[in-house]
Chain A
């Protein structure tokens, strides 16, 4: 992996993390906003209920004091008139029943001494002193003005509105209107979003202090233990068991979701700390990613300002799924886009790097120009070929700088095919262009110029060029070789390693009558006259295998069927590993020599063309010699320029002869058996090459 790729991945990861942090921050900010709104709504609803009931209590007190009969009975009650309690109870009972439908828990009358005179909700209970556990009553009587706030009670807990009862200027007692928490809960629930649960938690130690006094303290404590459960939210608080039959028709099961949320809050150290401080706070509590609640903790304070209870509302966070889906979707989309950019970028980087490496080390010069022909990129090879440094090429107009005519002048821009590429978008290939080097010399180059398209528009041209000086030289040499090959007087036949003819020269055609089309791909045995024995050819191939070449005399057949003797040289051409890649055979028609020998009286050699039993092996040399075909060719005159055939023994001006053919032939004859003469009928056909058993 490239370092730049690692950097890219690291950056993308960093961006993904930052994006995640931003998305989470947005989610948290939105959650905090929702919590703040929910908290404000809850506190507003709670405040409205409390203040509304304060007004309601004021009206109630005003009615009681304003009603002459009621006020008279109250004065009698507080003055300990014996029958007043029963009479006031009977008189107020219908009114009290009406108040109960408005969630008023109780109306109570207390004497100036602090003793309860009448509880409308429990009229059989009276005479107990309330000053110790009900500071509001004591304060209202002592200060002669209304008091309100939350207070625990021995029977029920609630929000108290205490008014002093005056007779003239004297405070003769107090009257209390109490609102139960159940009322608050029901009203708050009605005023909150749907499915909001309202819970009430009492501080354990404060409640126990209230209950742990009086003659019935054992019963009250037993009642406490049976009616109150430790709050799951905080062990220092208790909650009334709302499912308890004591609540009668008001009994209601605690929903499982409420229990689950309170269990979750019980594990929330921040919630516990907030309750310990008596603070108002809100928490966003989730049961899973979809099910979350806005939980508001509202402290309920007594007259001293201490938080003795908590009202806790649990409202479903209706927007949770939408927010999580939206933000999560946005994050995933962002990550996907980043990933796609990463992949694309890395692919681009890889491609760019690969191209850079390729262009760096490729032998061809590459440069890129924009639509104006200005070089924006050049590889080192381009610079090296042209003698520039890369920086010297960049920013220069390629055509003006490089493109030259054969006379060294610049190519007119209008005629420049490379410039046309940028205009027309066609790829231009040329094998004969000249580029001007830094030193002013010209460099023959092969050029391929292709347009660069981006979004369908041509934005530049990439030009590849290569030095073709070697190729041109090779082509020249090839042309020379080809001329030599085809203008030679000797017939030449070239086969591949499997002995299939791949080339012949013009002399071959003249000597044998076979055209190129007749012989290409065929085995040279087609030339065989059948006058040489298989052993003869076996010996020939053995020597070729051993020494790499062979020469001798054989009789072959022309296309017209005539048999002719030829002096044949065969050389195996091998590659660097020593494997044979082809065979080259060069031969001369030696019929004239044979005829001359016959005329001169050479009769030692058999002339019968069908004599196969006595092969004649004429060999100049069997020593391996590297080299050139000419060295293995039979003696002849080698015309430098194409000329008429030269007769053996003759020497013409302008020709050079290595050795008289007759001499060499004679010398060769000294090695043949006495019974030998011209070799018998033979041919390539019957030759069994050591590695070619099928032939």
Chain B
């Protein structure tokens, strides 16, 4: 496999030969300050490895972020499976470079439903009159995952006597339950686990979805650079990763579009996702 290494080295050197500014956008799971603390060390590492300069771009709304990527205003972004699927439905010039492992080492993750205190025993079929907090419409753990979970109990968001609203991100959805504004909320497991100390409990979990991926715009980011970035992330040492945020701290695996086939099928099976409650 020495020729492969040689090829990668050439690609890496080629990428380093022409330093450029790469526009990076994180997925707005939480507030920007937290995201910066988590991702800026990663960008610092990539900058040193590839010789490029990374420019931070934050778009708090999923639709705006996807539109910016489609318009070529973002070169590199962290995307969950649903946003990636939605993006590739619009345009084919996006490529997942790597997927970040979860804390348990898996390259996939679960979405969960959380409830507060005594509601820990709440069954999905008993959600009549409950208030459900969702992240965003385009979020994997938002309407999509929650609807999938409720579907297993023959229920659906906004129906069967429950009502839902989009909180904006995972933090707000979780804190909404802790503060008493929602009875249950859907969010990523790793995010939910942060708030278990606030007396939140997981009452349901979805099946695995492909882990968050670093997605590149192939129109604005040449293959050599994409390869350099992928290689840098796949070969990062543990000590370096230790200072990164929890969402990206546990390593990465190479990603392929084919890995999203099952998720695409589930999206197709669910049908449309309402942009807002009642739509």
Chain A residues proximal to chain B, CB less than 8 Å: 83, 85-87, 89-90, 93, 123-124, 126, 155, 215-220, 222-223, 225-227, 245-246
The answer to whether A218 and B178 touch across the interface, beta carbons within 8 angstroms, is no
Given A90-B116, A93-B179, A222-B44, CB of A85 within 8 Å of CB of B36: no
Given A219-B41, A223-B40, CB of A124 within 8 Å of CB of B33: no
Residue of A90, A126, A222 touching B178 (CB-CB under 8 A): A90
Residue of B37, B44, B178 touching A89 (CB-CB under 8 A): B178
The answer to whether A85 and B180 touch across the interface, beta carbons within 8 angstroms, is no
Residues facing A in B199-237 (CB within 8 A) are: 199-200
Minimum Cβ distance to chain A for residue B240 (Å): 9
Closest to B199 in A: A86
Contact indicator per residue, chain B 163-182, by CB within 8 Å of chain A (1) or not (0): 00000000100110011100
Minimum Cβ distance to chain A for residue B87 (Å): 22
Assign chain B's interface to a size class.
20 to 34
Q: A102 vs B197: C-alpha distance in the bound complex, in angstroms?
A: 28
B36, B58, B171: residue with the most chain A Cβ atoms closer than 10 Å: B36
The answer to whether B33 and A223 touch across the interface, beta carbons within 8 angstroms, is yes
Minimum Cβ distance to chain B for residue A443 (Å): 109
Minimum Cβ distance to chain B for residue A329 (Å): 54
Q: Is B117 on the interface with A (CB-CB < 8 A)?
A: yes
Complex interface: chain B residues within 8 A of A93 (CB): 178-180
Residues facing A in B178-195 (CB within 8 A) are: 178-180, 194-195
Q: A223 vs B175: C-alpha distance in the bound complex, in angstroms?
A: 24
Minimum Cβ distance to chain B for residue A439 (Å): 113
Minimum Cβ distance to chain B for residue A494 (Å): 116
Q: A360 vs B84: C-alpha distance in the bound complex, in angstroms?
A: 112
Complex interface: chain B residues within 8 A of A225 (CB): 40
Closest to A93 in B: B179
Interface of B is mostly: helix
The answer to whether B37 and A85 touch across the interface, beta carbons within 8 angstroms, is no
Interface of A is mostly: helix
Complex interface: chain B residues within 8 A of A218 (CB): 41, 243-244
The answer to whether A219 and B179 touch across the interface, beta carbons within 8 angstroms, is no
A215, A217, A219: residue with the most chain B Cβ atoms closer than 10 Å: A219
Q: A90 vs B174: C-alpha distance in the bound complex, in angstroms?
A: 12
The answer to whether A219 and B243 touch across the interface, beta carbons within 8 angstroms, is yes
Minimum Cβ distance to chain A for residue B125 (Å): 25
Chain B residues proximal to chain A, CB less than 8 Å: 31-33, 36-38, 40-41, 43-44, 56, 58, 60, 116-117, 171, 174-175, 178-180, 194-195, 197-200, 242-245
The answer to whether A85 and B197 touch across the interface, beta carbons within 8 angstroms, is yes
Q: A239 vs B243: C-alpha distance in the bound complex, in angstroms?
A: 25
Minimum Cβ distance to chain A for residue B272 (Å): 31
Complex interface: chain A residues within 8 A of B174 (CB): 124
The answer to whether B32 and A245 touch across the interface, beta carbons within 8 angstroms, is yes
Q: A245 vs B179: C-alpha distance in the bound complex, in angstroms?
A: 25
Complex interface: chain B residues within 8 A of A220 (CB): 37
The answer to whether A85 and B198 touch across the interface, beta carbons within 8 angstroms, is yes
Closest to A124 in B: B194
Residue of A126, A227, A245 touching B197 (CB-CB under 8 A): A126
The answer to whether A86 and B178 touch across the interface, beta carbons within 8 angstroms, is yes
Residue of A87, A126, A223 touching B36 (CB-CB under 8 A): A223
Given A124-B195, A219-B243, A245-B32, CB of A86 within 8 Å of CB of B40: no
Complex interface: chain A residues within 8 A of B198 (CB): 85-86, 89, 123-124
The answer to whether B199 and A87 touch across the interface, beta carbons within 8 angstroms, is yes
Complex interface: chain B residues within 8 A of A90 (CB): 116, 178-180, 199
Residue of B56, B197, B244, B245 touching A86 (CB-CB under 8 A): B197
The answer to whether B175 and A226 touch across the interface, beta carbons within 8 angstroms, is no
Q: A223 vs B33: C-alpha distance in the bound complex, in angstroms?
A: 8
A155, A225, A227, A245: residue with the most chain B Cβ atoms closer than 10 Å: A245
Complex interface: chain B residues within 8 A of A227 (CB): 33, 36
Ordered by A's residue number, 10 sampled pairs between the chains whose C-beta atoms are within 8 Å are A83-B199, A86-B198, A86-B200, A90-B116, A124-B198, A218-B244, A219-B38, A222-B44, A223-B33, A226-B36
Complex interface: chain A residues within 8 A of B116 (CB): 86, 90
Minimum Cβ distance to chain B for residue A154 (Å): 10
Closest to B45 in A: A218
The answer to whether A222 and B180 touch across the interface, beta carbons within 8 angstroms, is no
The answer to whether B178 and A123 touch across the interface, beta carbons within 8 angstroms, is yes
Q: A206 vs B197: C-alpha distance in the bound complex, in angstroms?
A: 32
Complex interface: chain B residues within 8 A of A219 (CB): 36-38, 40-41, 243-245
Complex interface: chain B residues within 8 A of A215 (CB): 242-243
